[in-house]
Structure 1
Amino acid sequence: MAPRANWKGFLRLSLVTCPVALYPATSESEKISFNQLNRQTGHRIKYLKVDADTGDEVPNEDIVKGYELDKGQYIEVTKEELEELALESTRTIEIDEFVDRSEIDPRYLIRPYYLRPDGKVGHDAFAVIRETIREMDKVAIGRVVLTNREHIIALEARDKGLIGTLLRYPYEVRDPAEYFDDIHDVKVTKDMLDLAKHIVNQKAGQFEPDKFEDHYESALVDLINQKRAGKVIRPKERPKGENVVDLMEALRQSVGREAAPANAGKRAKKAKKASVGQKEMLMPIAGKKPAKEAAAKKPAAGARRKSA
C-alpha cells in the first residue's frame, strides 16, 4: 500500500498545469528503533508539554508559536496569521527555470520525493512536462511549501514520474574555508599517487545499492536476539588504530592486500543481493514470519478466516 501523500497541489510550466501529489521517496521505518524506559520500573518515559515557569502541563490548544526578540520576550504568531501569508507555492509548484544537473552542488541536496499525477485527470499535461525535462536533459527548479516552510525543489524525470529533491538555501550551507583553511599543504609525489591510483583501480566497481549492508543494524539485530535468548553480552575488543610510519611502504602493502580479495568479492556479489530485510532477521515474533517463508506458505482465503 502506497504511503499517504505529503503534499497535493498543481505542477505548472508556464500555462501548462496538472494536479500532482508528492510522496516521500525514502523511509527509515525498517530501522530498529528504541523507546526510553524507566530503569527502576521498566515503564516507558512519557513527555509532557509544560509551562517553563509554573511547571503546569499546557494543552495543545493553548500552545502558540513565538519568536524570541530578547531574553524572555516573544512575539506571538498564530496559525491563522501564518496561513494568511498565502504563498502561491502552498498549492502550486511553479517551474521557474531549467539548469544542468552538474550545476547543483551536493551540499544543497536535502531529501528526495516522488511526484506523480493526482487522480485520473492531468496525465497528458504531466507527460508533456516530464518528457520535456527528459529530452532537454535538464533539472527543473521550482518552489513548494512543506511543513509550513517554502522550499526550493529540483525536478528530474524518472521512469513514468518525476523525482523532486528539496534544496537548501545559501544561508543554510556553511563556508568550507572555516574547516579547510588550516589543512596543511602537502606535496604528494608521483610514485605515491601512482600506487594510490592502482589501489583505486583494484577497488573499481559500479554503484549497486543492493550490495550495501548496514553493519550497525545487523549488529543491533544480533544483540537483541542474544538478549532474547538470555545470553550474556560480553564487550568485544575494539580495533586499535595504527600509526603509519612509512607512507610509501603502507601504499605498497595495500596494493598487495587488495589484489587477493578482489576476485573473491566478485564471486560473492550475487550472494549478497539475496539479503532479507533487517527486521526479518530478528527471532520469530508471534504472528510474524520472515517474508520469504510467509510468501511460500501463504494460506488460502478460507484458511485465513479460520485462523482468525
Structure 2
Amino acid sequence: MAPRANWKGFLRLSLVTCPVALYPATSESEKISFNQLNRTTGHRIKYVKVDADIGEEVPNEDIVKGYEFEKGQYIEVSKEEFEEIALESMRTIEIDEFVDKADIDPRYLIRPYYLRPDGKIGHDAFAVIRETIREINKVAIGRIVLTNREYIIAIEPMDKGLVGTLLRYPYEVRSEVEYFGDIQDVKITKDMLDLARHIVNQKAGTFAPEKFEDHYETALIDLINQKRAGKTIRPKDRPKGENVVDLVEALRLLPDRAAQPSEAAKPAKKPKKAAAGQKEMLMPIAGKKANAKQAPAKKPASGRQRKSA
C-alpha cells in the first residue's frame, strides 16, 4: 500500500497545469527504534504538555503557536491564520526557471519527494511537463509550502514520474569561511600527489547502494538478541585512533606494499543479498519479520521480566 501523500496541489509550467501528489522518497521506519523507560519500574515514559507556569496538563485543542518577540511575551498565531496566508505555493508548484543540476550546491539539498499525477486526470499534462524537463536535460525550480514553511523545490524526471528535492534558502547555509579560514596552507609535492592518486585508482568503482550494510544497525540487532537470550554483555575494545603516521612515509612505502600479495588482490566478497532495509537481520526481533529457522525466544515465567547487561 502506497504511503499517504504529504501534499496535494497543482504543478504548472506556464499554461500547462496538472494535479499532483507529493510523497516522501525516503523512510527511517526500517531502523531500530527505542522507547525511554523508567529504570526502576521498567515502565515506558510518557510525555505530557503542561503549562510552564501553573504545571497543569493542557489539552491539544487549547494549544496554539506563538512567536516570542520579547522575553515572556508572545504573538499568538492560530491554525486558521496560518491557512489564511495567501501564497500561491500553498496550492501550486509554479515552475519559475530551469537550471543545470551541477549549479545546485549540495549544501542546499534537504530531502527528496516523489511527484506523480493525482487521480485519473492530468496524466497528459504531467507527461508533457516531465518530458520537457527530460529533453532539455535541466532541473526545474519552483516553490512549495509544506508544514507552514515555503521551500524551493528542484524537480527532475525519474522513470515515469518526477523527483522533487527541497532546497534550503541562503540564510540557512553557514559560510565555510568560519570553518576553513584557519586551515594551514601546505605545499604538496608532485610525488605525494602521484602516490595518493595511485591509492585512488586502486579503489575506483561505481556507486552501488545495495553493497553497503548499516554496520551500526547490525550491531544494535546483535546486542538486542544477546540480551533477549540472557547473555552477559561484555564491552569490546574501542579503536583508539592514536596510530597517526607520517603521510610522506606512508606514501613512500606504498609501492613496496603494492608489489606484495594483499587483501586488495583477492576477489571481493559478494555483497549480502540483504541490503534493502536490513530486513534479513531483523528476523529475531519482535515486530519484525520472523526467521523460521531460529528458535523463538523463551517466555518469561511470570510477571514483568527485565534484563540488563
TM-score normalized with structure 2 length = 0.89
What corresponds to 1:144 in structure 2?
Answer: 144
What corresponds to 1:226 in structure 2?
Answer: 226
Taking the aligned partners of 1:184 and 1:236, their CA distance within structure 2 comes to 37
Q: Read off the aligned partner of 2:49 and give its amino acid letter.
A: K
| Equivalent residue for 2:262, pick from 252, 260, 263 | 260
What corresponds to 1:103 in structure 2?
Answer: 103
Q: Read off the aligned partner of 1:261 and give its amino acid letter.
A: E
Please state whether the residue corresponding to 1:267 is helix, strand or coil. coil
What corresponds to 2:235 in structure 1?
Answer: 235
Q: Read off the aligned partner of 1:134 and give its amino acid letter.
A: R
Taking the aligned partners of 1:168 and 1:121, their CA distance within structure 2 comes to 32
Is the 8 Å Cα contact of residues 225 and 284 (structure 2) preserved in structure 1?
A: no
Map Cα deviations across residues 28-50 of structure 1 (whole Å, 9 max, x no partner): 10000000000000000000100
Q: Is the deviation greater in 66-75 or in 162-171?
A: 66-75
What corresponds to 2:21 in structure 1?
Answer: 21
| Residues 47-196 of structure 1: pairs in structure 2 closer than 5 A | 47-196=47-196
Is the 8 Å Cα contact of residues 89 and 150 (structure 1) preserved in structure 2?
A: yes
Q: Is the deviation greater in 99-108 or in 74-83?
A: 74-83
Map Cα deviations across residues 237-293 of structure 1 (whole Å, 9 max, x no partner): 0112234353222124456379723343x531x343444643542453578645899
Is the 8 Å Cα contact of residues 211 and 271 (structure 2) preserved in structure 1?
A: no
Q: What residue ranges of structure 2 are gaps of 5+ in the alignment?
A: 294-309
Taking the aligned partners of 1:70 and 1:188, their CA distance within structure 2 comes to 53
Map Cα deviations across residues 42-63 of structure 1 (whole Å, 9 max, x no partner): 0000001001111111111111
Taking the aligned partners of 2:271 and 2:169, their CA distance within structure 1 comes to 42
Q: Is the deviation greater in 270-279 or in 9-18?
A: 270-279
Is the 8 Å Cα contact of residues 9 and 21 (structure 1) preserved in structure 2?
A: yes
Is the 8 Å Cα contact of residues 203 and 262 (structure 1) preserved in structure 2?
A: no
Distance 1:138 1:292, change over 3 A: farther
Q: What residue ranges of structure 1 are gaps of 5+ in the alignment?
A: 294-308
Percent identity over the alignment is 80
Is the 8 Å Cα contact of residues 144 and 152 (structure 2) preserved in structure 1?
A: yes
How many residue pairs get matched?
A: 291
Distance 1:12 1:276, change over 3 A: closer
Please state whether the residue corresponding to 1:171 is helix, strand or coil. helix
Please state whether the residue corresponding to 2:268 is helix, strand or coil. helix
TM-score normalized with structure 1 length = 0.89
Q: Read off the aligned partner of 1:262 and give its amino acid letter.
A: A
Map Cα deviations across residues 183-218 of structure 1 (whole Å, 9 max, x no partner): 111111111111111000011000000011111001
Q: Read off the aligned partner of 2:52 and give its amino acid letter.
A: A
What corresponds to 1:296 in structure 2?
Answer: none
Please state whether the residue corresponding to 1:3 is helix, strand or coil. coil
Q: Read off the aligned partner of 2:147 and give its amino acid letter.
A: T
Distance 1:254 1:64, change over 3 A: farther
Please state whether the residue corresponding to 2:210 is helix, strand or coil. helix
Is the 8 Å Cα contact of residues 212 and 275 (structure 2) preserved in structure 1?
A: no
What corresponds to 1:302 in structure 2?
Answer: none
Q: CA deviation at 1:148?
A: 1.2
Taking the aligned partners of 1:51 and 1:251, their CA distance within structure 2 comes to 62
Taking the aligned partners of 1:224 and 1:283, their CA distance within structure 2 comes to 12
Is the 8 Å Cα contact of residues 35 and 44 (structure 1) preserved in structure 2?
A: yes
What corresponds to 1:215 in structure 2?
Answer: 215
Matched, 1:39 2:39: yes
Please state whether the residue corresponding to 1:198 is helix, strand or coil. helix
